[in-house]
Amino acid sequence: MSLTNAPEVDQPEEPTNRPAPSYRIREWLSRPYARHFLVLFIIFTVVIMPAAWLVLHFMNQSGAPASAIMTDIETTIFVFTFVSAPLMAVALAILMYSLLGRDWGGRVHGEEPPMQESPAIRTNSLGVILWITATSLLAGFLVIWGLVELASITAGSYGSVPTNQQPSAVKPIDINVTGAQWVWNFQYPDQQGLQSDTLVVPNNTPLYFNVTSVDVIHSFWVVELGIKIDANPGAVTNIGVTPNKLGTFNIRCAELCGMHHAYMQTKIQVVSQADFDNWVRVMGGAKTS
């Protein structure tokens, strides 16, 4: 028999006077300020959460989402608003309680410093630990959500993979976008270099933009499709998107580019494949390969 197999002697536990956690929680909940705070917290959470829908309502006013990327973006905003609501509610509940609460809150008016002092709470380990844990978890959730979503929309917009290497079933249409003070110019190299100042694209077909500028920095923003990339002089930047909704949407310049920046906008028409082929023929290009 080795020593390791010796039966362990149970040490008697130190007797403790600390009440059980469940009792402590019940005791805390019996305090008026705690109850009032919790009620306010729940009310504020419920009141704030619908803001998530309100935000989407404003974003969708001009026809968005018109692509899977835009849908991803809207989902992200919706989720962020939703998970921020409890945190915002905590802060608002404390603010509101401190201003209006009768038992521990309650305002003091007057010219002289109030004689009645408040409880001298220097710190509260549990509160600090809870707060750090909650905010860290929230931040961690947002970071992970963001990273995954970024990877997803980068894949959706082909990142910086050239058109001819893309594994997509449908070959993307290359479009060269050139910003100049203060117009956008679109060139379709696959359609015999057809040029246009409005963008006409077929629905459900991947698009791949090569964006550059001839003078200053512009920013190519297709609003309802949720894509944006700067047009830099001396460099070509890329972004891709697949529109999934027929209609006419907005292209705006999102980087101050001089005098007529405000007017540097045009339209994108998402049309059916037949209409697109027709448009290409009318404009003098060749049929889509």
Partner 1 sequence: MSVMTRDIHEQAAVPQPTQHGKPGGFLRHTNIFTGVITGLVLAIITYAIGSKLVPWGTQNATFQQVGYQALIAATYVAWVIGFMAGIGAFAGPIRWVLGHDLTHADAEYMAGKGQGKFRYWKYTTDHKVVGIQYLIMTLVLFGLGGFLAMLIRTELGITWAEVFTPNFYNSMIGTHGIVMIIAMIIVISGPLGNFIMPLMIGARDMAFPRLNALSFWLLFAAVPPLVSNLLLGGIRDGWTVYEPLGSQSPVGMIGYQICIIVFAFSTGIASVNLITTAFTMRARGMSWNRVPIFVVGILSAAIMGLVWFPMFQYSQILALSDRMLATSFFNPLMGGSVWLYENLFWLLGHPEVYVVIIPGTAALIELMTVFLRKPLFSYKMAIAGFVGVTGISSIVWVHHMYMTGWAPSAGYPFMLSTELISIPFGFLVLVMLGTMWRGKPWTRLPMMAVYAVIWNKIIGGITGVYLSDVPVDQYMHGSMFVVAHFHFMLMGAGLFAAIGAIAYWFPKMTGRMLNERIASIGFWVAFFAFQLTFMSMFVAGLQGMPRRVLQFDNAFNVSNWLSTIGAYCIGIGMVIFLFAVITSWRNGKPAPANPWGAKTLEWQTSTPVPLENFPVLPVVTSDPYGYGVPDPYDSVEKKMAEADQPVGAGAR
Q: Which of residues 207-266 bind partner 1 (CB under 8 A)?
A: 211, 215-217, 219, 221, 223-224, 226-230, 232-235, 237-238, 250, 252-263
User: Helix, strand or coil for residue 180?
Assistant: strand
Helix (H) or strand (E) holding 21: helix 21-29
Min. distance of Cβ 132 from partner 1 in angstroms? 8
Residue position matching structure tokens 């998107």: 241
267 binds partner 1 (CB under 8 A): no
- 179 vs 285, which CB is nearer to partner 1? 179
Binding piece for partner 1, criterion CB under 8 A, among 1-9, 137-145, 161-169, 281-289: 137-145
Min. distance of Cβ 114 from partner 1 in angstroms? 5
- 147 vs 278, which CB is nearer to partner 1? 147
- 42 vs 235, which CB is nearer to partner 1? 235
39 binds partner 1 (CB under 8 A): no
Contact residue for partner 1 among 43, 45, 76, 166 (CB under 8 A): 76
Closest residue by Cα to residue 130 from 95, 194, 87: 87
Residue 200 has a CB neighbour count (10 Å cut-off) of 20
How far is Cα 30 from Cα 81, in angstroms, rounded to an integer?
32
| Nearest-10 crossing angle of helices 68-100, 125-156 | 160
Half-sphere exposure of 11 (CA within 13 A, CB side): 3
Buried b (16+ CB within 10 A) or exposed e, 204-215: ebbbbbbbbbee
Contact residue for partner 1 among 43, 92, 283, 286 (CB under 8 A): 92
Min. distance of Cβ 273 from partner 1 in angstroms? 27
- 62 vs 272, which CB is nearer to partner 1? 62
108 binds partner 1 (CB under 8 A): yes
Contact residue for partner 1 among 43, 45, 82, 94 (CB under 8 A): 94
Q: Are residues 236 and 225 in contact, defined by beta-carbon separation less than 8 angstroms?
A: no
Binding piece for partner 1, criterion CB under 8 A, among 99-107, 167-175, 266-274, 280-288: 99-107
How far is Cα 240 from Cα 160, in angstroms, rounded to an integer?
9
How far is Cα 78 from Cα 85, in angstroms, rounded to an integer?
11
Binding piece for partner 1, criterion CB under 8 A, among 52-60, 172-180, 193-201, 266-274: 52-60
20 binds partner 1 (CB under 8 A): yes
Closest residue by Cα to residue 188 from 160, 209, 214, 157: 209
